[in-house]
Structure 1
Protein backbone atom coordinates (compact mmCIF):
# COMPACT_ATOMS: atom_id res chain seq x y z
CA UNK A 1 0.00 0.00 0.00
CA UNK A 2 1.28 3.45 -0.80
CA UNK A 3 1.17 6.41 1.58
CA UNK A 4 -2.10 7.80 0.18
CA UNK A 5 -3.92 4.50 0.67
CA UNK A 6 -2.64 4.27 4.25
CA UNK A 7 -3.75 7.84 4.92
CA UNK A 8 -7.18 7.08 3.48
CA UNK A 9 -7.45 3.88 5.47
CA UNK A 10 -6.45 5.70 8.66
CA UNK A 11 -8.89 8.55 7.97
CA UNK A 12 -11.80 6.16 7.48
CA UNK A 13 -10.89 3.51 10.04
CA UNK A 14 -10.32 5.71 13.08
CA UNK A 15 -13.78 7.37 13.06
CA UNK A 16 -15.39 4.02 12.22
CA UNK A 17 -13.65 2.30 15.13
CA UNK A 18 -14.52 5.13 17.50
CA UNK A 19 -18.13 5.14 16.36
CA UNK A 20 -18.56 1.37 16.39
CA UNK A 21 -17.49 1.17 20.03
CA UNK A 22 -19.87 3.89 21.18
CA UNK A 23 -23.59 3.94 21.70
CA UNK A 24 -25.95 6.50 20.20
CA UNK A 25 -26.23 9.49 22.53
CA UNK A 26 -28.79 12.24 22.99
CA UNK A 27 -27.68 15.66 21.79
CA UNK A 28 -26.40 17.54 24.87
CA UNK A 29 -26.16 20.84 23.03
CA UNK A 30 -28.88 22.90 21.38
CA UNK A 31 -29.02 23.68 17.71
CA UNK A 32 -25.60 24.17 16.15
CA UNK A 33 -24.74 26.56 13.33
CA UNK A 34 -21.29 25.84 11.90
CA UNK A 35 -18.99 27.35 9.30
CA UNK A 36 -16.78 24.99 7.28
CA UNK A 37 -13.58 25.90 5.44
CA UNK A 38 -11.06 23.64 3.72
CA UNK A 39 -7.48 24.64 3.10
CA UNK A 40 -6.91 25.09 -0.60
CA UNK A 41 -5.17 21.96 -1.90
CA UNK A 42 -1.72 22.32 -3.45
CA UNK A 43 -2.92 20.59 -6.60
CA UNK A 44 -6.16 21.23 -8.37
CA UNK A 45 -8.59 18.49 -7.23
CA UNK A 46 -10.11 16.45 -10.04
CA UNK A 47 -13.20 15.62 -7.97
CA UNK A 48 -15.39 18.41 -6.53
CA UNK A 49 -14.19 18.93 -2.97
CA UNK A 50 -15.85 21.01 -0.25
CA UNK A 51 -14.27 24.46 -0.19
CA UNK A 52 -16.65 26.40 2.09
CA UNK A 53 -20.04 25.82 3.60
CA UNK A 54 -22.52 26.17 6.42
CA UNK A 55 -23.85 23.30 8.48
CA UNK A 56 -26.92 23.49 10.68
CA UNK A 57 -27.61 20.64 13.10
CA UNK A 58 -30.81 20.70 15.13
CA UNK A 59 -31.09 19.31 18.64
CA UNK A 60 -33.07 16.36 17.23
CA UNK A 61 -30.21 15.37 14.91
CA UNK A 62 -31.50 16.67 11.58
CA UNK A 63 -28.94 18.60 9.54
CA UNK A 64 -28.60 20.79 6.49
CA UNK A 65 -25.29 21.37 4.74
CA UNK A 66 -24.97 24.08 2.11
CA UNK A 67 -21.59 23.66 0.51
CA UNK A 68 -19.52 25.15 -2.27
CA UNK A 69 -17.66 22.32 -4.03
CA UNK A 70 -14.76 23.12 -6.33
CA UNK A 71 -12.64 21.09 -8.77
CA UNK A 72 -10.29 21.96 -11.63
CA UNK A 73 -13.01 22.33 -14.24
CA UNK A 74 -16.19 22.07 -12.20
CA UNK A 75 -17.85 24.21 -9.54
CA UNK A 76 -21.15 23.38 -7.87
CA UNK A 77 -23.19 24.50 -4.92
CA UNK A 78 -24.91 21.67 -3.12
CA UNK A 79 -27.60 21.52 -0.45
CA UNK A 80 -27.61 18.26 1.52
CA UNK A 81 -30.06 17.41 4.27
CA UNK A 82 -30.54 14.36 6.40
CA UNK A 83 -30.03 12.89 9.84
CA UNK A 84 -26.95 12.84 12.02
CA UNK A 85 -25.98 10.32 14.62
CA UNK A 86 -24.08 11.45 17.72
CA UNK A 87 -21.53 9.48 19.69
CA UNK A 88 -19.92 10.72 22.88
CA UNK A 89 -16.15 10.37 23.07
CA UNK A 90 -13.89 10.93 26.06
CA UNK A 91 -12.74 14.31 24.70
CA UNK A 92 -15.78 15.44 22.73
CA UNK A 93 -18.28 14.16 20.20
CA UNK A 94 -18.35 12.35 16.86
CA UNK A 95 -21.24 12.75 14.45
CA UNK A 96 -21.98 10.71 11.37
CA UNK A 97 -23.90 12.63 8.71
CA UNK A 98 -26.34 10.53 6.67
CA UNK A 99 -27.52 12.57 3.70
CA UNK A 100 -30.99 11.67 2.44
CA UNK A 101 -31.58 14.57 0.03
CA UNK A 102 -28.96 16.09 -2.30
CA UNK A 103 -29.80 19.10 -4.46
CA UNK A 104 -27.21 20.54 -6.85
CA UNK A 105 -26.89 23.88 -8.63
CA UNK A 106 -28.26 22.43 -11.85
CA UNK A 107 -31.47 21.46 -10.04
CA UNK A 108 -30.77 17.74 -10.05
CA UNK A 109 -32.00 15.89 -7.01
CA UNK A 110 -30.73 12.67 -5.46
CA UNK A 111 -32.61 10.93 -2.65
CA UNK A 112 -30.41 7.86 -2.26
CA UNK A 113 -29.19 7.84 1.38
CA UNK A 114 -25.44 7.79 1.99
CA UNK A 115 -22.95 8.78 4.65
CA UNK A 116 -21.41 12.05 3.50
CA UNK A 117 -18.89 12.47 6.29
CA UNK A 118 -17.90 12.46 9.92
CA UNK A 119 -17.60 15.39 12.29
CA UNK A 120 -15.44 15.47 15.39
CA UNK A 121 -16.30 18.21 17.89
CA UNK A 122 -14.60 19.31 21.09
CA UNK A 123 -16.45 19.08 24.44
CA UNK A 124 -18.20 22.45 24.17
CA UNK A 125 -19.11 21.74 20.50
CA UNK A 126 -17.51 24.98 19.30
CA UNK A 127 -14.58 23.66 17.22
CA UNK A 128 -13.97 20.56 15.18
CA UNK A 129 -13.16 18.90 11.88
CA UNK A 130 -15.29 17.54 9.06
CA UNK A 131 -14.04 14.55 7.03
CA UNK A 132 -15.64 14.72 3.57
CA UNK A 133 -16.42 11.16 2.48
CA UNK A 134 -18.87 12.24 -0.22
CA UNK A 135 -16.08 13.61 -2.45
CA UNK A 136 -14.25 10.29 -2.27
CA UNK A 137 -17.43 8.31 -2.94
CA UNK A 138 -18.10 10.38 -6.08
CA UNK A 139 -14.66 9.50 -7.49
CA UNK A 140 -15.69 5.81 -7.40
CA UNK A 141 -12.21 4.90 -6.19
CA UNK A 142 -10.70 5.67 -9.58
CA UNK A 143 -8.79 8.77 -8.59
CA UNK A 144 -5.97 8.90 -6.07
CA UNK A 145 -6.65 11.88 -3.91
CA UNK A 146 -6.05 12.83 -0.33
CA UNK A 147 -8.97 13.12 2.03
CA UNK A 148 -9.70 16.74 2.82
CA UNK A 149 -10.56 17.82 6.32
CA UNK A 150 -12.53 21.00 6.78
CA UNK A 151 -12.16 23.15 9.84
CA UNK A 152 -15.42 23.56 11.69
CA UNK A 153 -16.39 26.52 13.87
CA UNK A 154 -19.80 26.25 15.58
CA UNK A 155 -22.15 28.33 17.71
CA UNK A 156 -25.06 27.03 19.73
CA UNK A 157 -28.43 28.59 18.96
CA UNK A 158 -31.84 28.43 20.54
CA UNK A 159 -34.96 27.53 18.57
CA UNK A 160 -35.25 25.69 15.26
CA UNK A 161 -32.36 25.93 12.77
Structure 2
Protein backbone atom coordinates (compact mmCIF):
# COMPACT_ATOMS: atom_id res chain seq x y z
CA UNK A 1 0.00 0.00 0.00
CA UNK A 2 1.26 3.55 -0.77
CA UNK A 3 2.51 5.96 1.88
CA UNK A 4 -0.28 8.42 2.72
CA UNK A 5 1.90 11.19 4.21
CA UNK A 6 0.51 14.59 3.17
CA UNK A 7 2.75 16.64 0.88
CA UNK A 8 2.67 19.57 3.30
CA UNK A 9 4.68 17.52 5.81
CA UNK A 10 7.42 16.75 3.28
CA UNK A 11 9.92 19.50 4.00
CA UNK A 12 13.64 19.69 3.55
CA UNK A 13 14.09 19.57 7.32
CA UNK A 14 12.01 16.40 7.52
CA UNK A 15 13.67 14.61 4.59
CA UNK A 16 17.20 15.76 5.34
CA UNK A 17 19.16 18.69 4.04
CA UNK A 18 20.93 18.98 0.71
CA UNK A 19 24.50 17.72 0.56
CA UNK A 20 26.95 20.49 1.38
CA UNK A 21 29.04 21.68 -1.56
CA UNK A 22 32.82 21.99 -1.18
CA UNK A 23 34.22 25.41 -1.98
CA UNK A 24 37.90 26.27 -2.44
CA UNK A 25 39.12 28.69 0.22
CA UNK A 26 40.54 32.01 -0.86
CA UNK A 27 44.31 32.44 -0.60
CA UNK A 28 43.72 35.95 0.75
CA UNK A 29 40.89 35.91 3.26
CA UNK A 30 38.69 38.96 3.66
CA UNK A 31 38.04 40.19 7.19
CA UNK A 32 34.50 40.83 8.36
CA UNK A 33 33.44 44.34 7.25
CA UNK A 34 33.72 47.04 9.87
CA UNK A 35 32.04 50.43 9.53
CA UNK A 36 34.36 53.23 8.44
CA UNK A 37 37.29 50.93 7.59
CA UNK A 38 38.53 49.83 4.17
CA UNK A 39 40.98 46.95 3.77
CA UNK A 40 43.72 46.44 1.21
CA UNK A 41 46.45 43.87 0.65
CA UNK A 42 49.78 45.68 0.27
CA UNK A 43 52.73 44.05 -1.52
CA UNK A 44 55.74 43.68 0.80
CA UNK A 45 57.89 41.49 -1.44
CA UNK A 46 58.11 40.00 -4.91
CA UNK A 47 59.92 36.72 -5.50
CA UNK A 48 61.54 37.01 -2.08
CA UNK A 49 62.86 40.54 -2.66
CA UNK A 50 61.54 43.17 -0.24
CA UNK A 51 59.48 46.01 -1.71
CA UNK A 52 59.70 48.54 1.09
CA UNK A 53 59.16 51.43 -1.36
CA UNK A 54 55.64 50.18 -2.02
CA UNK A 55 54.97 49.59 1.68
CA UNK A 56 56.18 53.09 2.57
CA UNK A 57 54.00 54.64 -0.13
CA UNK A 58 50.89 52.87 1.20
CA UNK A 59 51.71 53.87 4.78
CA UNK A 60 51.97 57.51 3.64
CA UNK A 61 48.52 57.13 2.04
CA UNK A 62 47.12 56.31 5.47
CA UNK A 63 47.12 52.51 5.49
CA UNK A 64 48.23 50.77 8.68
CA UNK A 65 49.00 47.07 9.19
CA UNK A 66 46.19 45.00 10.70
CA UNK A 67 46.98 43.09 13.89
CA UNK A 68 46.19 39.37 13.72
CA UNK A 69 44.83 39.48 17.27
CA UNK A 70 42.16 42.01 16.21
CA UNK A 71 40.79 39.68 13.51
CA UNK A 72 40.55 36.15 14.95
CA UNK A 73 37.93 35.19 12.31
CA UNK A 74 40.68 35.01 9.67
CA UNK A 75 42.37 32.02 11.36
CA UNK A 76 45.57 32.59 9.47
CA UNK A 77 49.23 31.86 10.04
CA UNK A 78 51.44 34.68 8.81
CA UNK A 79 54.61 34.19 6.79
CA UNK A 80 57.47 32.61 8.76
CA UNK A 81 60.08 35.29 8.01
CA UNK A 82 57.65 38.21 8.19
CA UNK A 83 59.07 41.68 8.83
CA UNK A 84 55.69 42.56 10.33
CA UNK A 85 55.44 40.29 13.38
CA UNK A 86 51.96 40.10 14.87
CA UNK A 87 50.34 41.30 11.66
CA UNK A 88 48.65 39.39 8.84
CA UNK A 89 51.09 38.74 5.98
CA UNK A 90 50.50 36.05 3.37
CA UNK A 91 52.79 35.35 0.42
CA UNK A 92 54.40 38.79 0.43
CA UNK A 93 51.10 40.64 0.95
CA UNK A 94 50.30 42.53 4.15
CA UNK A 95 46.69 43.20 5.18
CA UNK A 96 46.27 46.90 5.91
CA UNK A 97 43.35 49.12 6.87
CA UNK A 98 42.53 52.80 6.34
CA UNK A 99 39.60 55.07 7.05
CA UNK A 100 36.96 54.70 4.33
CA UNK A 101 36.67 58.48 3.92
CA UNK A 102 40.43 58.73 3.22
CA UNK A 103 40.19 55.96 0.61
CA UNK A 104 37.20 57.66 -1.07
CA UNK A 105 39.04 61.01 -1.11
CA UNK A 106 42.04 59.32 -2.74
CA UNK A 107 39.86 57.74 -5.44
CA UNK A 108 38.11 61.05 -6.13
CA UNK A 109 41.49 62.80 -6.37
CA UNK A 110 42.78 60.23 -8.86
CA UNK A 111 39.61 60.57 -10.95
CA UNK A 112 40.05 64.35 -11.00
CA UNK A 113 43.67 64.00 -12.18
CA UNK A 114 42.58 61.59 -14.94
CA UNK A 115 39.79 63.97 -16.04
CA UNK A 116 42.25 66.89 -16.18
CA UNK A 117 44.60 64.81 -18.34
CA UNK A 118 41.79 63.93 -20.77
CA UNK A 119 40.77 67.59 -21.04
CA UNK A 120 44.39 68.62 -21.64
CA UNK A 121 44.77 66.13 -24.49
CA UNK A 122 41.48 67.33 -26.01
CA UNK A 123 42.55 70.99 -25.81
CA UNK A 124 45.89 70.17 -27.43
CA UNK A 125 44.18 68.20 -30.19
CA UNK A 126 41.69 70.98 -30.92
CA UNK A 127 44.47 73.60 -30.99
CA UNK A 128 46.31 71.66 -33.67
CA UNK A 129 43.25 71.06 -35.85
CA UNK A 130 42.97 72.74 -39.28
CA UNK A 131 39.97 75.01 -39.84
CA UNK A 132 39.49 73.47 -43.31
CA UNK A 133 39.02 70.06 -41.71
CA UNK A 134 37.30 70.71 -38.41
CA UNK A 135 37.52 67.99 -35.80
CA UNK A 136 34.57 67.13 -33.68
CA UNK A 137 35.05 66.52 -30.00
CA UNK A 138 35.92 62.88 -29.53
CA UNK A 139 33.06 60.78 -28.25
CA UNK A 140 34.09 58.85 -25.18
CA UNK A 141 32.05 55.77 -24.52
CA UNK A 142 32.76 52.19 -23.70
CA UNK A 143 30.96 49.19 -25.09
CA UNK A 144 31.43 45.58 -24.10
CA UNK A 145 30.08 42.72 -26.15
CA UNK A 146 30.40 38.98 -25.79
CA UNK A 147 30.21 36.47 -28.58
CA UNK A 148 28.64 37.29 -31.93
Give the greater-gyration-radius structure (CA). 2
**Same fold per TM (> 0.5)?**
no
TM value normalised by structure 1: 0.19
Higher strand content, 1 or 2:
1
TM value normalised by structure 2: 0.21
Higher helix content, 1 or 2:
2
